[in-house]
Structure formats: structure tokens, C-alpha cells
Structure 1
């Protein structure tokens, strides 16, 4: 049952092969294994996991064992981690899920691989958690052993969120200080301005990352101020190009605590989403200062406190002293804007895709437009120009993965975040429960399945000269997103325009040589006439924005953000950044909902004395 890293391509693995016959009692198998694990964990000094784990197995942990996100591979590494952490973490009181889709079941995952899977619940010294086990049968002795285990801390003891039966009473008399402290609205006005206290956490950016983050922090009792440079909450979406809609379906893109109404459109127009963000901030009682920018920020290591100066819309400055800064300015950093010989003498218009608003704002009919880049933005901008009468050519240097919004995207979410699917909270646990290398390996099969369904579209693109790329391992969008943050297009109409020849494609593997007066000069010696050139060339590392706004002193202490580290977890995102009290947070709507919980718990653990915020330096003090 081999599961190995492939040389030259990190985090590419070979999935195991398993017997095909389905077991008679999935619950019996899962319960027997979980009971045996609990017995082993009750004596961590003498752990012997070879009887419970395959040699090539995985354990992914989010905060239950270590105040960080960890992936360990092989039974030896799992045993080593548990020996180090179990005496403090004290995983115990395991219980299988007993209802719904994720109770013990046998799954035929892909051809040649089946497993018994189940959600389970547990306690630790510090809180309660949820996990997922996946057991496969040993081909030699027939024993059921773990191929992959996931543990995630979901709540801290003594800091339970006020949800459901724990919701606040809401009457004036039940609030701290009673009527003397003012009515709800009077208190809100003082809270929003932080007239009586300092925020513990300063969140920079009021998009999906900042809003989800603020909601999670406040639910844990951590005062939080969100600042945003825009005029209104939601402008980070409203200010983008006119035709933009989300490329992910509604059931996948809910915000924390507040799902979309059931009559919400499957794909959300940008202005409608902006309005939702604004309503969300009000409903969730988030403290947001718009038209506010950071003037300076310095960290005091001795006091573990920031000194931040912000400038508000009226020009007034305010000094804040939060203990944490969460950087929610967008998944990407500064726009990557290349320069080419002759660009200054080009007689047309050149701009980066981040500056695109709408082609209808100028008389573009009949003009020749070249869009450099074939990711999501490049396609959307090319389509926008075509629909406004321009003659559009997309310049493609290397291949791009293409998946359609109306077919492939829904296949990706089958059985999980979909209409009539399991509760979002459970789907969130299960969707993140496999280590990224295993997710990528399974995505190879998913990508092939989607390609079969979308064969007509893909063949049409090939005939039109569009180069397709399914990734070095054929994992498609999953690997492209988590390792590169791009290199794909979720098709919402542009592919048909390319197939029909309405938008042209020019392939230039060696890129651009420079600009002529009215043309783009390519490295192969050819040229493209151009009145407008849009550089849809992507963005730098998120750390570059920190360097631009906060300076080298802060940025130099941070790690680079995104792509996978040696364990197979995302670098510096949703977890310690390298700089104390500084956190990077971003991603699509779903990831911001899911991982905001884990980042909020990390900050709460630090404020409660459980963690220092650095890997493997936690203290064992209880709340």
C-alpha cells in the first residue's frame, strides 16, 4: 500500500490500492478502531501506532495537538507528534458521528481505492473538536488501519461561543452595567468608535476575509476594529469591473453564522455581494471604520503590542494599541506589472488588469485590444471588451486549466456544499479534512471526470489554438489554486467566444519582446496590432503589500505567503506569519468562512495564555 512523494514534484503522491469488497459493518469497524486509538492515547509514553496506522499514512491537525496547522506523513512521524503533544493536548472522549451523511460508511472513492470513513468528536485539555477518520484494509492481513486522520479544535473550554441555547438575552437589564450602561444603540455607538477601550485586534480590510474574521473574533469575546480605505463596506467588490459575478455557487460561499437566503442567486453579481457585505457588517454588529488608512504601525516586542496610527476620512488621526493585526487586504499582493522596451512610446493604452473597470466607459468599438494573460481576469476582461464591440486577441504564453461554471464546478461540490447537501458546518469539516497532497491526488481523478463531461468545450478550445494545462500531475484547479493562486479559468462564457472565433488566441511561449508605436512585438518575431493592451499578469506575494504599507521592518519578519511548506500546509496563511501578533488572512468566500474560525481560535488561545503564537511553544495553562 504505497503512498510516496514523487521526486522533482513536491507533494505529488501515489494513492494506495485497496480490496474492492465492501465491509459488512462500517460502524463496527470504525468504532473498534477509534476505541483502540483512545486506549493508545491514554498512555502516550508507550504509544505503538503500527497496529492502527499504515506505514504510509497521514494525520492533519488544526490546533487540537499543536497551536498551528500541521500535516505529518507516515506512522513514525504521527507517533512522534503524538508522543510530543498528547500529554498536553490530552485528546480523549472520542465519539463517532451518529446521524447524517458523515456517520460511518464505506466509500468507493476512486477505482482501486475504498475506505471506511466517519466524522467523530473529541475533547482536549483546552476544548472540543471534530475530526474525520478514513480506514483502509490491509491487503496482507485484512486489518483495518488508518490511511488519513483529521483533528480540528472547534471550541475552547470556558470561551464557548454564544450560539443557540447560549445566545445572549438581549435585554438592557441583562447587559453589563444594566440600564446605567445605556441601551443597545447607545452602547453600539460607543463601541464602534472605541471611546472606552482599545481593540484587541485590528483587522485591515473589510472584504470577505475581514468581515468573517471580525465576526469570529467578536463571537469569542475579542474586541475587534476593522478598517477599510473604501467609502462603503462592500466597495472592494462594487469597484471591480461591471460584469463581474462570483464563480462559485451560493451554497459554497456563505459567510460565517449567516447563510444566504434560499432564494439567493446561484452566482452573485458583484454589486449584490457588496450590498450583502454591508448588511452583514450591520447585522453582525461589526465595528468598521471606512475611508480609513494605516499611516504607520510599529510593534513593541517587550509589551507584545502594536502602536498603529490610522487616518480617517475627515483627516483626523487616531493612535491605536492592538495586540494583533490581521492583514485582510486580499489574497494577492501588489499587482505584477511588467515593463517592456518601447512601452513609453506606444501610442495606445496600456494598463494592468487590476485597473480595469468596464469597456463601455470609452468608445472601444472596432479598436484592437490585446489581453496579456489567460487566467480568470484575462478571460473576463477579454469578454467584456468583445461584448462592447472591440476586436480582441488573448495572448497566451503557457497553458491554462479551464473548467466550466455550469458543469465542472458543480461536480466539484457534489455531496458537499450543494443544495440539499449536508449542513455547512459539517461539510466544512469534511472538505478540509484531507492533507493537501492527498486532495491533489484525488483531484487527478476528479479532473479527468470533469474533462470527460466538458469534452466538447475542451476540444473546441484546442481547435481554436488555446493551450490547455491540467497541471504537472493533472490535478487541475486544486493544485493550481493552492500552489500558484492562479493559472486557471472558471468559464462563464468566454470559452464559447474563443471556440467560435469571436475572440482570437495567439500563443507566444517566449512572451513579449516589446512595443511598437501601435503594436505588440512578440519574441517569435511576429507582432499584434494593438490600440489597447491589458496586462492581466497577476499579483505578487501578499507580503509585498505589507512591505509597501508597513515597511521592511515588519515585512522582513514575515514569511512568504501561499504555496505549500515542507509538511504540505499553506505558508503563513491562517496561521503564524513569522511576525508576532501579525496574521495573514485571505482566500475565496468559503475559505474565509472556514479558516476564520481557526485563526480566531489561535488569537483567543494567545489572549488566554494557552499559546505564544509560535509553533511548539505552547503553555499548558487552562482558560
Structure 2
């Protein structure tokens, strides 16, 4: 049975040893030296890896995102890719939090972990090793992570490599104009075509553009909204981020230290607008894509755009990065009798604020019990409505004030390690291993949040801790939903201020005054909000660019057979077409790897064919 067929459920190793006899630095150094020797001589890895082990690679060995499980597959992977990648010059991290240490992960599992640095033929990378001891006392790798961080020939202009900024230092000198005059020509692409067209000016598009420009890849962001940040400003009035500030920084530009822990939507929209200006990103707002076709022979797009002034422009980028939102198109179900309903019905994506409907005393049914469903129900209650949440299936609940901060302990938190290092550690374990560890975290969080969870159960709310009890980690990466980060609505349900109705089979039909459930019950309603989720990102591509492009792309999100996310941050299936999305942290982290893949193609380090990226041998 394959990993995917087993729902990526794995068994973690069990370790037993006397920690007093362990020198983590000595053991980690000996292992890393042996790995370097084995790679240099194409030797067997059997003495270095357990049979059940993992290697996760991001663009260092393969110009893709890969997870390889078990020793034979790892050996084949290395044998095929190391001659070209040439990983070498391994160095342990010798300072800070992630130098070699013995780490107690669970009561039954400890490992020696360390960050390390290395070189490749084309770049420099960072990785993480995790070693456990076998029955014979030998320390072997349970998990290794390698990630490309920069390209040797194309260093980013950071720190001591920053641009001088004087007119004399700019190409062409004063004759080509001062900074403002050059920016005017650049943002309108008067003298060149953008190499990359980014569709969407949210966190995905902005992070990706900043990364690409830092690598010297010209890019243009287009968005149909009026202002950068409107993708957040136009969402419901009470929305705030459900992730804390230290987790949600943008690439190169962290939030100020006095930034609120959870960011209100309009404040975040203003930050996005400022970010685009500060990072000198090229953005065309109020711009719509009319059509886009791809020329395989030229590896080039022809994209027809309509701009804010009604003018048309055809651009010929080599890449399109689709950043229109991880959630895709709204899923809006239709029900029998819906047309006779005399009240108001709309999808949660259309919700602005309950006060727009004069809802005091009105009966409101919110269909759905995920994040949006809870937030919308709370918004209606706080505006005086009589609110019922209709729950069809179970939901995982974690609280913002306890569980969320527990999730980020030791990494993305106040007084934590540098964000760049925390990002490396947070992504260094394969998703199946993350899920296995999450089952233990979920139990720990549930113990801390026992009163809330018990209160919800008593109110009739169905809790669902997910497959193997992996909670929010599995729910997010496999379904993109099915959870609620509690910012106050749970207590309203516990207190009966927001009523709950369970209906596993859902809605049968609408009547003039409400809806009938398939279990035979009914609910009166003046307003029904369908917080029923969103479709795959690929559906937006089909809607905007048509079947020819969408049919060559894969579905987005969930895990593939190896345990990596499908079609996002990596080749999509269509050459020159990339998906980018997710929460603010994922967009910051994975924009680096997507930008490196595009730069690798443009620099001639890799070739692109039929949607896959292949190294030039």
C-alpha cells in the first residue's frame, strides 16, 4: 500500500538511550562528514540512513520540491541527481538555537538535530539533519532536509551587496533619468517586456514579485482591484488575521515591533500597499486579463490586458504566476425551492458586515462551521441577529489565545530565532512526519483548551480532530479548511447565544420562510449565508484563461504520492505557469523557492518542457 493510500499516516520511531553519554556536536559532525564523503565517492548510504528514513529537498538536488521516503529510494534519488547537483562543503551550524543538540520531541522520541550549510554546483543551501540511534548504537539519519537558498552567479543585493543608489552608479547615468523618472518607465514597461506576469496583488503576488526582482527577474503584477491591499480590505468588516505577527512577516520587510499580534484586515491592506511602494514592485491595478495563449515553440505567452483607462496592451512574458487566492472560486450550492425564498441568501465570500442588512431581531442561518462560518455568525450576533449555525460535519477547533501560540513555540514567536532560520526549521520535516507529530500536539493543545472543547461538546457541536488526530496541520494542507481558530465565537455557542443545529445530510430544500433539512427538521430564516467553502485554484484558471490552459495544469493542494503539495510552488503541469498561494507565512517561505526555479530557467541552469523542470546535464 502506498503512502497516499494510507492517507500519509506513518509510525514515528521509538528511541531509548542515556542522554548523559551523548555529545550532539561530535555525533552530528561525524555523521555530516561521512555524508559528504559518501556523496563525493558515490558510496552507499546504508551506514548513514535508517531503512525507514526521509529526505526532503527544495530545489537543491532537484529543480522541484521532493520528498523521498526509505533508504533504497533515497539512494536512487541521490545517485541520479548528485552528479549534477554536486552537494559539498557541508558545515554544521555552530551558533544560535539550531546548532547540534539532543532534542526531546516526545516522551518516546528524541533525536540529535542541527541546521547545516552546504554548497551546490550553482548555489548555496541550508539544511537540517535529525539523527536517531539504532539497536546497535549507530547514529543514523531519520530525516534530512536540503534547500537551495541562493545562486552563486546571481547573489541578491542584500546587506553589503546593496545598490549604491546614486545617479552616477545607475546604468547610463543621469542621461537615463533620476530615480523617479526611471521608475516611471520601469513600472509601465516602456523599454522591455516583463519576464514574469504575476496575477494578483495579495500576499502571494507581492512576496513573489519581491523575490523575483531581488534575483534580477523583471516582473509585473496585475490586479483587477482599485488599490493594492483591496483583496483584504474588501473582506468582511471584522476580519483579523488568525496567525500572530511573528509568523506573518513579508519577505525582506518584517512588521515593526509595535505591530498588533493579530492584524486587522484594513491595516494589513495598507501594509501591502506600503510594501509594494517600498519594495519598488511594478503593479498595474484595475487591470483585467482578456486572454492568454502559450507558444510552446517560443516558450512564451501572449497575454491581452485591459488597463484602468480602457487601453489594451499585449504582453509576452515567459512565465505567469497565478496568485488569485489559494481558495479558488466560491462553492455555491443550489437547492430546490431556493427561488421562492423571500429572504436573502448569499455566499460567505460576499459578506461585508451584518450591519448592512439591518439585522436586529432577524433570523439568520449560517451554513458551515469553518473559520468564515464562525466569524460571520459572530458578526451577525454582535449586530443583534438571532443566529443559528448549521453544522453538517465535524470541525477542528483551536483557540487563538492558547493553541495557536503553542503551535509556534520556539520558532515564529516574540524573542524567537531569526525568521529566516525559523522558516528553514519549520519546513524541514516531510508533511507525513509533521502530521504524525501533530497528533501529539493536538492532544497537548486539547488538554490546554479542555474547558472550551468540553463546552462545545455539551452544546452539541461536533468536534473532528481529523485523520489520525492530526488536527489543523492535516486539515489545512489536505483540505484547505475544516477548522476554526477561535477568536470568540466558541464561547457564544457554549453560552447558547449562537444556536447550533446539526444536520449531517444537509439541506433538502428551501421554503418561502426558511429551509427544510434532510433529517426532516426545519429552520426559519430571514437571511441565509452559505459559508460553504471554495473550489480548487485551477477552477479560476479555467474561468479566466479557458480549458486549454487549465487542462494542462494539475489540481492544486493536497498531497501527492511522495507527500508534497500538488502543483503549487513547483511545476504546475503547464510550462511557464505557476501557482502561488496560502497564508502569509507560506507565501513568504515558498516564494523563495518558486523564484529560484524561475531564475534557474531564465539563467539557463534548467530547461522547461511539458510543465516539468529538468536539470541541464
- TM band (smaller chain): over 0.9
Specify the alignment match of 1:85 in structure 2: 81
How far apart are 1:20 and its partner, in Å? 4.3
- In structure 2, C-alpha distance between the alignment counterparts of 1:153 and 1:348, rounded to whole Å: 55
Note the C-alpha offset of 1:7: 8.7
CA distance in 1, matches of 2:208, 2:612: 21
Matching residue within 243, 251, 254 for 2:249: 254
Query: Which residues of structure 1 form unaligned runs of 5+?
Result: none
Shift of 1:615: 4.3
For residues 272-287 of structure 1, what are the structure 2 equivalents within 5 Å? 272-287=267-282
Structure 2 SS opposite 1:392? strand
Q: Tell me, yes or no, if the aligned pair for 1:371 and 1:535 is still in contact at 8 Å.
A: yes
Pairing partner for 2:221 from 218, 226, 236: 226
User: How far is 1:314 from its partner?
Assistant: 1.3
- Residue 324 of structure 1: CA displacement? 0.3
CA deviation profile, 1:569-614 (whole Å, cap 9, x unmatched): 0000000000000000000000000000000000000001111245
CA distance in 1, matches of 2:177, 2:128: 46
CA distance in 1, matches of 2:288, 2:15: 56
What residue is the counterpart of 2:139 in the other structure? 144
1:53 maps to 2:49: yes
Deviation of residue 178 (structure 1)? 1.0
Instruction: Specify the alignment match of 1:42 in structure 2.
Output: 40
Do the aligned partners of residues 5 and 447 (structure 1) sit closer, same or farther apart at CA in structure 2, a change above 3 Å counting? Answer: farther
Within 5 Å, which residues of 2 pair with 1:133-532?
133-138=129-134, 140-532=135-527
Asked if 1:19 is matched to 2:16, the reply is yes
How does the TM-score come out when normalised to structure 2? 0.99
In the alignment, the residues of structure 2 paired with residue 616 and residue 70 of structure 1 have an alpha-carbon distance, to the nearest angstrom, of: 12
SS in 2 for 1:190: helix
TM-superposed CA distance for 1:10, in Å, is: 1.9
**Matched residue SS, 1:278:** helix
1:99 paired residue number: 95
Deviation at 1:379, TM superposition (A): 0.3
**CA offsets per residue over residues 126-173 of structure 1, 9 Å max, x none?**
1000000000011x2011000000000000111010001100101000
Q: CA offset at residue 617 of structure 1?
A: 2.5
What CA deviation, in whole Å up to 9, does each residue of 1:72-113 have, x standing for no partner? 000111000000000000000000001000000000001100
User: Would you say the 8 A contact 2:91–2:118 is kept in 1?
Assistant: yes
Show structure 2 runs of 5+ residues with no match.
none
Whole-Å separation in 2 of the counterparts to 1:425 and 1:333: 29
Equivalent residues of 2:4, 2:563 under 8 A apart: no
User: For 2:22, what is the secondary structure of its paired residue?
Assistant: coil
TM-score computed with the length of structure 1 as normaliser:
0.98
Structure 2 counterpart SS, 1:78: helix
Asked if structure 1 preserves the Cα contact closer than 8 Å seen for 2:397 and 2:485, the reply is yes
2:2/2:561 contact within 8 Å kept: no
Contact 1:5 1:13 in 2 (8 A): no
Alpha-carbon distance in structure 2 between the residues aligned to 1:20 and 1:413: 28
Distance 1:428 1:7 in 2: 26
8 Å CA contact 2:65, 2:570 repeated in 1: yes
1:409-437 residue CA offsets vs partner (Å, 9 max, x unmatched): 00000000000000000000000000000
- Contact (CA 8 Å) 1:559, 1:577: kept in 2 or not? yes
Q: Which residue of 2 aligns with 1:66?
A: 62
For residue 21 of structure 1, report the CA deviation from its aligned partner.
2.4
CA distance in 1, matches of 2:170, 2:571: 35
Q: Is contact 1:334-1:544 (8 Å) kept?
A: yes
Question: Per the alignment, in what secondary structure is the counterpart of residue 514 of structure 1?
Answer: strand
SS for the counterpart of 1:125 is coil
Q: 1-side partners of 2:36 and 2:232: how far apart?
A: 48
> 8 Å contact 2:221–2:282 — kept in the other structure?
yes
Q: 1:512, 1:521 within 8 Å by CA — same for their partners in 2?
A: yes
Is 2:607 aligned against 1:617?
Answer: no
SS in structure 1 at match of 2:607:
coil
Aligned-pair CA distance for 1:616: 6.4
- Please tell me whether the aligned partners of residues 511 and 523 of structure 1 are also in contact (alpha carbons under 8 angstroms): yes
Q: Post-superposition shift, 1:19?
A: 1.0
Query: Contact 2:200–2:221 (CA<8 Å) still a contact in 1?
Result: yes
Partner of 1:125: 121
* RMSD of aligned residue pairs (Cα, Å): 1.0
Q: CA deviation at 1:350?
A: 0.7
Q: Which runs of 4+ in 1 moved over 6 A?
A: 4-7
1:8 deviates by 5.1
- Name the SS for the 2:198 alignment partner: strand
Match of residue 108, structure 1, among 104, 109, 116:
104
Match of 2:27 in 1: 29
Q: Secondary structure of 1:490's match?
A: strand
Instruction: Write out per-residue CA displacement over residues 288-342 of structure 1, whole angstroms, 9 at most, x where no aligned residue.
Output: 0000110110000010000001111111111100000000000011100000100
- Residue 5 of structure 1 deviates from its aligned partner by 6.8
Query: 2:71, 2:146 → 1: CA distance?
Result: 16
Q: Residues of 2 paired with 1:37 and 1:391: CA distance?
A: 64
Please give the alpha-carbon distance, in whole angstroms, between the structure 2 residues aligned to 1:135 and 1:181.
Answer: 56
Aligned residue for 2:305, secondary structure, equals: strand
Kindly indicate whether the alpha-carbon contact (under 8 Å) linking 1:120 and 1:130 is maintained by their aligned counterparts in 2.
Answer: yes
Distance between the aligned counterparts of 2:18 and 2:371, measured in 1?
A: 43
Question: Which secondary structure state, in structure 1, belongs to the residue aligned with residue 614 of structure 2?
Answer: coil
